[in-house]
Chain A
Amino acid sequence: MSTETIDLKTRLITDFHAREAVMNGEASSEFHQKKRAGLARFEQLGFPTIKHEEWKYSNVRDLISVSYDFNAESSIGLAELEDLKVPTQEANILYFVNGRYNEKLSTIISPTGQITISSLADAYKNDPAKVASYFNELTKDADDAFTALNTAFTQDGVFIHIPDNQSVEHPIILRFVSDAREKNVGSQPRNIISVGKNSHVKLAEAFRTLGDQRSFTNAVTEIQVAEEANVQYYKVQNESENAYHIGTTQVRMLDRSHFYAGTVTLNGKFTRNNLNIVLDGEHCDAHMYGLYFPDGSQHVDNHTVADHQKPNSESNELYKGILRDKSKGVFNGKIFVRPDAQKTNAFQSCKNIVLSPDATMNTKPQLEIFADDVKCSHGTTTGQIDEEALFYMRSRGISQPEAMSLLMFAFCADVVSQIKIDSVREYLENVITQKLASK
């Protein structure tokens, strides 16, 4: 008991200073100065409570009530991956176990040289100035304690740098595995991705857990999308019943670029995803698709931001959820249209099926429009399964449970079909089919 009485915030701050004390010269580096600023920010903000507007429906009390080992070793090997039924595909696959890069399990097949795909730690060893210049650039003004905490404790993650005019043929799949077989583990990966002008890439982040102790993942991804670039970015969470996940993806888009995000939460005790896209260019288009499927007492919260700063751009958002048992869902979608962003088109839609009287869904669209010549729309629906469609299917001989499964699969398909990495999409289809058959 006595060790648990020191709260997580104090423990983390103490830990930071202890590490800093043994750093020698490195403590004065630009990289470390940024981390130190992150710690100061975290110290000032503290963990949010439900009094905080952005955390009104998502209480982190349970998450921060225990301690986590952020440096846990893991013996994970191919046998364990087999257990996780990880899909295979010809792709760049990078494994991060408890937040640290695992070279043995990883495969990088895209030609090195021009394109950099490596762990953040390796990238930093090779070129500290370059990595430091990208690190926390997009998130430096973030008003979020978890992002600040991640900044302070950044050790590893991925560093991807794609120069101009490159088409990355093979997708890049980042697999984050929490090995919670023996104890509560924590990880704070930081992914830094920069895509050059007119370059194309498909990326996925997949989060899994091994074992049933607690895991706490606090992930931050920064993505710079240069002019005319095209980025497909997917985040798939299929973690354990004891997995807590807070994640922020911060994106900055320049002129005529295209960005597609797909965020799918299949399983996990407590999930909070922040997807913040700044459309800092003209004629860009940002697409956000989301799907969540909680059951039991799971909690899934998606906060999104489309921040239109320049004229003539478009954002388009579709989030869908199926909630069962006593699960809770939260959707908060912000659209900002800044004074300069005339001729903005911004669309947002959030549709939910609530299958149990004990499940709840809170949706909040938030539009702040400071320009006058814009088209914006938003809509949310929360309801049950379509009875007319159900009867139609049953009248053709399809049993009620089978008809429900088909209808719910179809409901998910709008989002799943947007995932353009085959192995990821097929994996989602399989897991969703299994989940639908499980009740």
Chain B
Amino acid sequence: MLSINDLRASIEGKEILKGINLEVKPGEVHAIMGPNGSGKSTLASVLAGREEYEVTGGNVVFEGKEILELAPEERAAEGIFLAFQYPVEIPGVTTINFLKTAVNEIRKYKGEAPLDAAQFLKMVREKAKLVSMNDSLLKRALNEGFSGGEKKRNEIFQMAVLEPKLAILDETDSGLDIDALRIVAEGVNSLRSPERATIVVTHYQRLLDYIVPDYVHVLYKGRIVKSGPKELALELEEKGYDWIKAEVEAVG
């Protein structure tokens, strides 16, 4: 589904990603872990098409298509979804209106007719239930004055509505208490299917108690330095990142 080959990217002349290789197949959940500043969020941003980053090498193939040349909205329409670490507050645009525009823009991209208001509302209500999203939040301006938990839940709700093939969760656990974390994780799990894949970017292991990964990768200094089964996450939780750093320095 997703194939990242020797991906290099920099911002303001500073190289952050120094050759990332990763294969993700349908149905899989991959966790990307690593210490602060290792490039985890950069990887998520580059995949979604954030323009501040300059891709300096490598390629990314998603469902047989080179995506680095595509605009962010085209990637979204192809089925890539990024749940933001810091969801943006947009005063004046209601969540419901924002999502209706998004759904119909994606349908337009695919050559499908727009959903009418009734169809859209029905679909949105079902998805809201899935992530225990309060109807009143839908009518409010997008993320404006939302608590940290409400913002993250809104991200997962949007994901449920847009039904991406590949979801990238960027530090979705940050700023969440345990109850909010569980609700968000349940939402993500309910969307898991043999056709969909998920990349979970996180600093801590605790989210992975709820969203159990098939593979864990450790990113350090812009490279994936270690990959393993889900137990690797537990090991990291117990021992921290220093032993990985030491291993890398010893080799490097």
Contacts and interface: CB of A to CB of B under 8 A. Distances in A.
Contacts, number: 77
B93 A397 contact: no
Given A391-B50, A406-B98, A406-B101, A397 B76 contact: yes
Contacts of B141: 410
A70 interface: no
Contact of B77 (A391, A393, A397, A403): A397
Contacts of B105: 397-399, 402
A400 B48 CA distance: 15
| Max count, chain B CB within 10 A of own CB: residue among A388, A389, A392, A400 | A392
B50 A413 contact: no
A68 interface: no
Interface stretch (B29-37, B82-90, B113-121, B236-244): B82-90
A396 interface: yes
B48 A396 contact: no
A394 B93 contact: no
Interface in B41-71: 48-51, 71
A395 B105 CA distance: 12
Contacts of A409: 92-93
A407 interface: yes
A410 B48 contact: no
Nearest to A408: B92
Contact of A396 (B50, B91, B92, B98): B98
A414 interface: yes
Tell me the dominant secondary structure on chain A's binding face.
helix
A399 B93 contact: no
A116 B69 CA distance: 67
Given A397-B77, A397-B109, A406-B101, A392 B93 contact: no
B88 A397 contact: no
Contacts of B91: 410, 413-414
Contacts of B101: 398, 402, 406
Interface residues of B, number: 31
Contact of A395 (B76, B93, B99, B109): B76
Contact of A391 (B51, B92, B158, B162): B51
A393 B106 CA distance: 12
A157 B49 CA distance: 57
A88 to B, nearest CB: 24
A407 B158 contact: no
Contacts of B88: 386, 388-389, 392
B150 interface: no
A394 B74 CA distance: 8
Contacts of A395: 48-49, 72-73, 75-76, 81-82, 84
B76 to A, nearest CB: 4
B73 A398 contact: yes
Contacts of B84: 392, 395
A134 interface: no
A412 B73 CA distance: 24
A392 B90 contact: yes
9 contacts: A391-B50, A393-B98, A393-B102, A394-B73, A395-B72, A396-B73, A397-B103, A397-B162, A411-B92
3 closest A-B pairs by CB: A410-B92, A397-B76, A413-B92
Interface of B: 48-51, 71-73, 75-77, 81-82, 84, 87-88, 90-93, 97-99, 101-103, 105-106, 109, 141, 158, 162
Given A394-B49, A409-B93, 13 more contacts: A391-B50, A392-B87, A393-B102, A395-B75, A395-B84, A396-B76, A397-B76, A397-B105, A398-B101, A406-B98, A411-B92, A413-B92, A414-B91
Interface of A: 386, 388-389, 391-400, 402-403, 406-407, 409-414
